[in-house]
Structure 1
Amino acid sequence: MPMTNVSMRTGQSAQFRTAVLKGIHESLHEALGIHPEAFFMTITEHEEANFLANMTFPFERSPDLLLIQITLTAGRDAEDKKRFYEHLVEKLQASPGVDPADVFINIIEVASENWSPGRGLAGRNSVIPATGAPATTAAS
């Protein structure tokens, strides 16, 4: 269950922001096999004075730059990540029309035991049975 945080300059519409989050979620599912119901995502908007990024290195970017940071459970190889990066850029270019140069992605990998989905349960795959009692933790 990844946690996604997107930082951007203020000024984009709610429709644009929703399309960004939807595109990221769909790419995580389609390119990395993340469960379709595993989404925990935020967007933080910043005034110009609070958003400093190099706009020319290693290529030019527009003021619409998106800084996308995704925390995932460790275990994916370089090819999986490369496939995800390419998929996400294509998805965001198609909707809401983000220039590929404006998609800056950072993945942070953590061990499975570093997740708690709530209720003090340990492990990202903790499941709550119908009775409401915590299930045993299954790491994957």
Structure 2
Amino acid sequence: MTHVSMRSGKPAAYRTAVLEGIHETLHASLGVHPETFFMTVSEHEDANFHVNTTFPFARSSDVLLVQITLTAGRSADDKQRFYQDLVVRLEKNPGVKPADVFINLIEVAGENWSAGNGLAGRSAALAADGSTAAGTAA
């Protein structure tokens, strides 16, 4: 589950490129299933968007606050690779400066997900394909 907060005013193509870039990087760098995209963007007027643009280094007013909830279990090295890969991808498209990508990962246990139908973890996906094996979400 991904949520991005940003200042108002960016075109739809920019917002879509941000979400697609995050999704592609989650899949490529952390092995998140390619069909698990549950993502939102919130746009905020200046009065409702306060971020430090000088600490710990300079950022522009185009900063993105990216918060991703995913199933626990990735190593610190995996996460570092994801951070690096994401800023490279977003710099290429839609042109976000690496310093403007502020990322927060929230890890939860697999049983803390319900993708629907009142089923925990990957049970909903497994039920849909007829499988009975246990697993985890994103």
* TM-score (normalizing by structure 1): 0.91
Three-state SS of the structure 2 residue aligned to 1:60 is coil
- Distance in structure 1 (CA, Å) of the matches to 2:26 and 2:123: 17
1:92 to 90, 93, 100: 90
Aligned to 1:32: 30
Identity among equivalent positions (%) equals 64
* 4+ residue runs over 3 A deviation: none
1:66 Cα shift? 0.1
Gaps of 5+ in 1: none
1:123 Cα shift? 1.0
- Size of the alignment, in residue pairs? 135
1:37 Cα shift? 0.6
- Distance in structure 2 (CA, Å) of the matches to 1:32 and 1:77: 10
The answer to whether residue 51 in structure 2 is matched with residue 65 in structure 1 is no
Three-state SS of the structure 2 residue aligned to 1:22 is helix
Three-state SS of the structure 2 residue aligned to 1:128 is helix
1:137 Cα shift? 6.6
**Structure (1 or 2) with the greater helix fraction:** 2
- Distance in structure 1 (CA, Å) of the matches to 2:51 and 2:132: 44
> Is the CA contact (8 Å cut-off) linking 1:116 and 1:122 kept in structure 2?
yes
Q: How does 1:103-122 map to 2 (within 5 A)?
A: 103-122=101-120
Aligned to 2:128: 129
1:125 Cα shift? 4.9
